[in-house]
Chain A
Amino acid sequence: MKNEEILSQIPEIGEGQIKLLETLSNAVSVSGDEGEVRAIVMEALKELADDVRVDALGNVLVTKKAKVENPIRVMIAAHMDEVGFMLVDDEGEGLFKFEIVGGIDNRQLVGKPVLVGKDKLPGVIGAKPIHLTTADERKNPIPLENLRIDVGPGNSKKCKVGDRATFATRFETWGPSLVGKALDDRLGVATLIELLKHTPGNIELLAAFTVQEENGLRGARVAAYSMHPDVAFVLDSTPANDLPVWDEEENARYNVRLNHGPAIYRLDAATLSDPRLINLLTDTGDELGIPYQYRQPGKGGTDAGAIHKQRGGIPSVSISVPGRYAHTAVLIARREDWKNTLALVYATLCKISKDLFLADR
């Protein structure tokens, strides 16, 4: 396909897409309990794909056939789950001890409203009044064992030990920004839904909406096995860490930067991305004038960590929408970065073929 043709077919991020992202962001799907997002995904997929199934772990696995013979089979994964909490001890009078599911800094919990259980019962994580603390005490974070989820006295019957909870943040747009909880990785989920609506005909698209990413990449692991793709792309959101540095020196240690386009992974804690896929992405970006950036090599990981070592090995790469403050009550991403992420992945899919394997890695 010619570049002009690709550019003219790149799907848009319009109000409908923002609305879907809002619905996804406000849904509660803590790792291991992804039902609500799964239902939204299934609804969005009606009449979109040839084959949709839910596997033993709860992954939604979708196959969309190519319009050509013997196509390259491309897996694209985005995780449905989010970090959150589980109630683990009922102390009566509406107070519950809780554990964290996934990685959340204790310091992000205090003073937050939360939603508890299937009925999304409102609750709060409070703190001891400042008046009863000492200056020394205030220098140290409040340990998890001293925090409680409080749903109000007399409400204990409406929620119970074992229920999941998460931050009660409602999605909003602030100027150029998308603001909400769990945009890691509802941005990926929404992008993948768009790619299923607008699939280039040259590939067989194997879309995996995965579970338990925040609990050790467990959904992607089995999804990659059963899908058995030729290559895999993982769509996620990565922390930008592009804030000023304390000593007012230039921040040369940002992870990625907002407004600089999709972040392409070379190396994270779990994966060395396949250079053939990296080059395909960057060549596409360069040719079509779609901005991109490299995620700084370092810690963290995506579903690619599980996917690339599945079976005999699956060439994989991750692309993230940059976001500030992942794994807190509020993530801030730029609409423009999301648009460019969708554009870059779509255009790259238009260009991908089995020729990729003419060169050895």
Chain B
Amino acid sequence: MTDLKDTLKKLISLPGLSGYEAPAREVIAAAWQPLVDEISVSPMGSLHGFRRGTGPEPRPSILLAAHMDAIGLMITGFQDGLLRFTEIGGVDPRILPGLRVTVHGRRNLPAVVVQPPDYLLDPTQRGKSVAMEHLFIDTGLEEDEVNQLVSIGDLASFAQEPLELSGRTIVGHSLDNRISVAAITYCLQELQHMLHAWDVWAVATVQEEETMGGGFTSPFKIDPTVAVAIDVTFAKGPGANDWRTVGLCKGPTLAWGPNAHPYIHKKFLDVADQLEIPYQKEFAPRHTGTDAYAMQVTASGYPTMVIGIPLRYMHTPVEMIAMKDMERAGRLLAETIVRLEVDFMEKITWDEVKDEE
């Protein structure tokens, strides 16, 4: 599946910040086009790919949602040829000094986030992690040119190029959550040579990092039987080793908690066990911080589930994932979908569900 790796690398070389997802959406639409029967764009900008099932009408349907938006920065002001900025999505200011970005002005400008020397900073910032409002973006251009090319509200995206590290790991920005878009694509490729009774909606949602606007709206039109969010989860790594973290390259995660319908959870678990697809449990005692949180309460509510892909260094420009985890997630989705019988939902009774382990 080298073409999928290429698509992924293309996806994580694009901006597509929350609210401005078009560059990512175009690449995803091109990748999904041959794998779905219909493709459309929602009023919010989410991409909806529809793949018809083989069951009798009215067919149940499963919605697979992965958000395609990325975190980044937005320009707020000018000072002596340098730019002030704020964040789109959650950005730890400690990743910012020295960060390579692209400022999307009248043309794309390469630039870097810079930290003034301590003695020029507010005394409260000296020797500390410098708050975002005290940092600048430097384009290397002279003041008059900067003022001409850049406006307040222009976006700045992370410019880190994709890297292939060993262990078939990929490093780059916005792997949260474009690796999950890749997992859905992998699933669609698998389904090409499988029979599935249910309809499948592949959805690349918008604005997850800011408002969950895509997650709240896409299920309304689609009205699926089951909605599954595929999103990244915390891989163990430097500074991250507690119960909230899972192993990198140890398989996708199955979420357990209020955003996961216990019966849907069990279905994925059973399929993974049956096919010996490695997986990990993710315990999410409150909300999952994924589109499932939104989709669950759209309209009159939907049964939801969250499949996680372990990712190290989340919300940094050097997010790291293992391709193996993405492939396993894609395969688990496909194998579960083909095992959804037409009357699957009728068999769900809350009493039957047993807590595992």
Contact = CB atoms under 8 A, between A and B. Distances in A.
A192 interface: no
A146 B312 CA distance: 15
B248 interface: yes
Contacts of A332: 112, 138, 140
A126 B172 CA distance: 11
A130 to B, nearest CB: 4
Nearest to A247: B122
A176 B237 CA distance: 40
Contacts of B127: 141
Nearest to B113: A330
B140 A246 contact: no
A7 interface: no
Contact of B166 (A126, A158, A244): A158
Contact of B80 (A142, A243, A246): A243
A131 B169 CA distance: 22
A10 interface: no
B238 to A, nearest CB: 4
Chain B interface residue bracket vs A? 35 or more
Contacts of A46: none
Nearest to A173: B140
Contacts of B248: 153
B316 A244 contact: no
B110 A94 contact: no
Interface stretch (B57-65, B90-98, B276-284): B90-98
Contacts of A328: 97-98, 114
Interface stretch (B128-136, B192-200, B333-341): B128-136
B145 interface: yes
A335 to B, nearest CB: 10
Interface in A133-167: 133, 138-142, 146-148, 150-155, 158, 167
Given A126-B318, A139-B129, A243-B82, A153 B95 contact: no
Given A132-B245, A138-B129, 19 more contacts: A110-B95, A126-B316, A127-B92, A127-B313, A131-B289, A132-B240, A133-B92, A142-B239, A150-B165, A152-B169, A152-B171, A174-B109, A175-B141, A244-B116, A253-B119, A325-B112, A325-B114, A329-B100, A330-B100
Interface of A: 94-95, 105, 107-108, 110-113, 122-133, 138-142, 146-148, 150-155, 158, 167, 169, 172, 174-177, 179, 239, 241, 243-247, 251, 253, 259, 324-325, 328-330, 332
7 contacts: A125-B318, A126-B320, A142-B94, A241-B117, A243-B114, A246-B122, A329-B100
In the A-B complex, list the 5 residue pairs whose CB atoms are closest, starting with the nearest.
Answer: A152-B165, A126-B313, A177-B140, A128-B239, A155-B166
